[in-house]
């Protein structure tokens, strides 16, 4: 039987495990790496190839790790992985620019992104949205204090992501994300 992926995916997973070892999901004790692995799994279950799996597990590296450098991504995993991770990052500078400016720039780019990038972004936002919904049920409105912007801005952003992804792209994952975003809005406002 032939291998379904190369050792470079193993290396990317190990790299992410090491880089995010001390990080938690916002306002929780959940290891951050669970998010990265979930995004990778969702991409794999929805037709993503090896480069997309690698980009998925590394999608937050440039944004969240001080000293992260896109050139290292290219050297280790190639130009396609680098390109996708850069496209999936709303900022690669530290400290990050203001929230609204970052999100508006990301949305503008996302609307014209390649389908391979949109798939990973949809998987990322789907897991984020599901996590917020779960935590809203568990801790109530306190969940919104985890974010740097008010509830209304967070809800606006997820709706805008759905619109940006839908520009020239259809996929069952986008349909799932749309459902989750609508459900989050209903639960948050209900």
- Domain residue spans of the chain: 1-86, 98-190
Measured distance CA(76)–CA(8) in Å, rounded: 8
What pLDDT, on a 0 to 100 scale, did the predictor assign at position 167?
98
Instruction: Tell me the whole-structure pTM to 2 decimals.
Output: 0.96
pLDDT at 146: 93
The DSSP output letter for 29 is S
* Three-state DSSP state, 111: helix
pLDDT in tens, the chain (190 residues): 889 999 999 999 999 999 999 999 998 999 999 999 999 999 999 999 999 999 999 999 999 999 999 999 999 999 999 999 999 999 888 788 899 999 999 999 999 999 999 999 999 999 999 999 999 999 999 999 999 999 999 999 999 999 999 999 999 999 999 999 999 999 999 7
pLDDT score at 95 = 84
What pLDDT shows up at residue 39?
98
Burial string for 17-50 (b: 16+ CB within 10 Å, else e) reads: eebbeeeebbeeeebbbebbbbbbbbbbebebeb
3-class secondary structure, 61 = helix
Predicted pLDDT at 122: 98
Q: Does the structural domain 1-86 have CATH classification 3.40.120.10?
A: no
């Amino acid at each position: 039987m032939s291998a379904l992926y190369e050792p470079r995916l193993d290396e990317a997973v190990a790299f992410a495990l090491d880089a995010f070892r001390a990080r938690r999901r916002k306002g929780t004790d959940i290891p951050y790496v669970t998010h990265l692995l979930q995004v990778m799994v969702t991409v794999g279950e929805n037709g993503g190839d090896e480069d997309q799996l690698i980009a998925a597990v590394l999608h937050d590296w440039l944004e969240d790790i001080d000293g992260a450098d896109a050139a290292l991504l290219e050297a280790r995993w190639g130009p396609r992985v680098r390109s996708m991770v850069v496209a999936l990052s709303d900022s690669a500078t530290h400290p990050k620019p203001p929230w609204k400016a970052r999100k508006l720039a990301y949305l503008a780019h996302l609307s014209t992104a390649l389908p391979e990038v949109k798939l990973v972004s949809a998987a990322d936002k789907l897991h984020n949205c599901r996590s917020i919904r779960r935590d809203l049920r568990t801790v109530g409105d306190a969940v919104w204090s985890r974010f740097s912007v008010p509830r209304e801005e967070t809800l606006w952003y997820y709706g805008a992501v759905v619109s940006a992804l839908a520009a020239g792209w259809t996929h069952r994952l986008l349909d799932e994300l749309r459902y989750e975003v609508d459900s989050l809005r209903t639960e948050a406002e209900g």
